Amino acid sequence: MKRITKQFSLHKVSTAKISLESFFLTLIILGIPLNFYKNRFYDNSWTVGEWLISYAGGFVRRGLPGEIIHFVSNRYLISPILLVWLFSFFALLGLAAILFYFCKDLFAKSFLLSQLIILAPISEDYLVRKDTFIVLLYGLSLLAMKRLYQQKLSKLSGILSINFFSMIAIFSHESYGIWALPSLILIFYLFERSNKKTHLQSSLYSTLFLIPSLFSFILCWLYKGNIDQSLIIHQSWQSLRDILPSVFALNEIQPTGAIAAIGWGTSQVFTSSLISQFNLNIFWHPGMWLLTIFIVMRLFIGMGKDLNQEGKRFIICFQLFAFLPMFLFVDIGRWIFMWLTSSALLFSFLSQTFGIRKLLLHSSRLKGANILSKIIPEFSSFKNYNRILLFMGLPHCCWSVGRYLVSMPIGFAVKNFIFYFKFVFS
């Protein structure tokens, strides 16, 4: 009787797992058209506008995709909005493919499909931004690394490929240089150490291999843009008004949103006011973000005690240190998405390439990471893990109860229902 009860319980857990994955997949499918519909005008200046930063006024940070979009739109009279949608859709599709290629056997599928990873940009309306595209390029860099390690690419081809993907990412958004290049340097270091190089030689070579990417990163910080260049970019899109849908923003003299912000410095985006912010006079914003970070780290680590959990602790802490500068700026939820996703890719790559035991051997030398990892426990039961995952919200910016509820899977499901109900019956 006990055996039958146990089998029935296992069946219920398995069914719950499948249902949760199906629920997330449904939200992904329904949420993509919702994102595109909400971001169909030039007036969506922080989403569509981020893709439309170009080199019309000279070299500026983040201008590569916009330059390509402007060239194609101008030459073939294709709407820039359609091209932005295509970039965003295929970036998400590519990221999902590379995530499952690397991570499917090391992370729960419900986690990979959840509002913390693949569903995140969809549920919080930043699918039409460069985030998924940037993380995809990081994944492609790791794929080139893997082929290099397996000797399916020559060393020169591997180094050129990794720099190619990294430079595209940096010229799309310079933040890649802050959070991605450190781990790529680490991987090259591990490669060189495995070839019996000394610590000094390995450090030197690993840095030299990424000189083109490092130089690109420096260029983007030196030539971030200015008001005059943002105005010229805005005017270049005004010349395509016949194929660029807009409510009123295209007719304005000055640009807004991401195009207007290309010359901003840290003083404009530093979240100094975050320290004193409360929601409903109860929820202190820094405290809520710290609690969010703690919970998502536990979800990343997963369930049960094995070597995978120890390796995941090390990687999530390593990437956390790389992302800490990004958390000082706005849109903390977006950075958390990129942090978790890049960490999943990095852990899976390292465990498949070097093995968990070798990864832990290297991680044990970093005392700080080990101390931090001891206070982050794994989940003891599958039921609790999925329950937290189902009711976890990740606002993309400006933590509030309302944004938390809408960013939860259930809240986003309600949002989809309202949208499609109005779309069908209006």
The answer, yes or no, to whether residue 267 has pLDDT greater than 80, is: no
Asked if the structure places residue 244 within a domain, the reply is no
pLDDT, position 13: 43
In sign, the C-alpha dihedral spanning 116, 120, 126, 130 is positive
C-alpha dist (Å) from residue 148 to 119, 144, 225: 31, 6, 36
Sorting pLDDT into bands at 50, 70 and 90, what band is 266? low
In this structure, are residues 300 and 344 in contact, taking their beta carbons and an 8 Å threshold? yes
Asked if the structure places residue 207 within a domain, the reply is no
Q: What are phi and psi of 173, to 5 degrees?
A: -160, 120
Structure tokens at 164: 């190619």
Computed over every residue of the chain, the mean pLDDT equals 89
pLDDT, position 12: 47
Asked if the structure places residue 122 within a domain, the reply is no
Which residue segment(s) compose the domain that 407 sits in?
274-417
The answer, yes or no, to whether residue 377 has pLDDT greater than 80, is: no
Q: Crossing angle for the helix pair 155-172 and 64-76, nearest 10 degrees?
A: 80
270 three-class SS: strand
233-250 residue pLDDT tens: 999 999 999 999 999 999
pLDDT, position 274: 67
Asked if the structure places residue 110 within a domain, the reply is no
Higher pLDDT, 224 or 271: 224
pLDDT, position 7: 44
The answer, yes or no, to whether residue 10 has pLDDT greater than 50, is: no
In this structure, are residues 138 and 342 in contact, taking their beta carbons and an 8 Å threshold? yes
The answer, yes or no, to whether residue 311 has pLDDT greater than 90, is: no
Q: What are phi and psi of 284, to 5 degrees?
A: -80, 120
Closest by CA to 58, choosing from 226, 203, 196, is 226
In this structure, are residues 330 and 269 in contact, taking their beta carbons and an 8 Å threshold? yes
User: What distance lies between CA 323 and its chain's CA centroid?
Assistant: 11
pTM score of the predicted model: 0.92
Sorting pLDDT into bands at 50, 70 and 90, what band is 71? very high
197-241 residue pLDDT tens: 888 999 999 999 999 999 999 999 999 999 999 999 999 999 999
278-305 residue pLDDT tens: 888 788 888 999 999 999 999 999 887 7
pLDDT, position 273: 59
**Going by DSSP bridges, is the β-strand pair 283-284/278-279 parallel, antiparallel, or unpaired?**
antiparallel
CA gap 262, 223 in Å, rounded: 10
CA gap 426, 424 in Å, rounded: 6
Q: Exposed/middle/buried for 82, CB within 10 Å: 0-12, 13-18, 19+? A: middle
Sorting pLDDT into bands at 50, 70 and 90, what band is 11? very low
Sorting pLDDT into bands at 50, 70 and 90, what band is 272? low
129-160 residue pLDDT tens: 999 999 999 999 999 999 999 999 999 999 99
pLDDT, average across residues 181-187 = 95
Number of domains in the chain: 1
CA gap 244, 235 in Å, rounded: 12
Residue 198: Cβ within 10 Å count: 10
Asked if the structure places residue 234 within a domain, the reply is no
Residue bearing tokens 């949002």: 415
Asked if the structure places residue 366 within a domain, the reply is yes
Asked if the structure places residue 316 within a domain, the reply is yes
Among the listed ranges 301-310, 367-376, 378-387, which one has the minimum average pLDDT value? 367-376
Asked if the structure places residue 114 within a domain, the reply is no
In sign, the C-alpha dihedral spanning 272, 221, 89, 87 is positive
